[in-house]
Amino acid sequence: ARIYYFGTVCHDWDDDSCIKLLSNTAKAMEKGYSTLLISDLVIPEVGASVRAAAMDLQMMVLLAGIERTESQWRAILDGCGLDLVRVWSPSGASESVLEAHLR
């Protein structure tokens, strides 16, 4: 497929489960053709808003999930053989869209 889209899915899962999920998707992707788009929170490394921090705690307590920073997303994607190409983040918002391609 040309586009694979995950909308607020990955934050429900711990890193190992997320890597398994995205690795299976990466296996189906075609290098130079397919794009993975992930719509999820990308929280800052420091100085996260109260809302973002609260969402992180909520994911951890309820689902053993996590809201991730950009560096955490890069590590997850790297573990799946994917490169993070771009992050679209509206000014002042934690919600973002991450674009990844096969390495």
The per-residue b/e assignment along 32-65, b for 16 or more CB within 10 angstroms, e otherwise, is eebebebebbbbeeeebeeebeebbeebeeeeeb
- When pLDDT is averaged across residues 73-92 and rounded to a whole number, the result is 93
> Catalytic one among 11, 65, 68, 98?
11
Spatial distance between the Cα atoms of 78 and 59, rounded to a whole number of angstroms = 23
> What integer pLDDT is reported at residue 38 of this predicted model?
97
Annotation says 101 is catalytic: no
**Interval 23-78: pLDDT, tens:** 999 999 999 999 999 999 898 878 877 777 777 677 767 766 788 999 999 999 99
- When pLDDT is averaged across residues 5-31 and rounded to a whole number, the result is 94
> What integer pLDDT is reported at residue 67 of this predicted model?
83
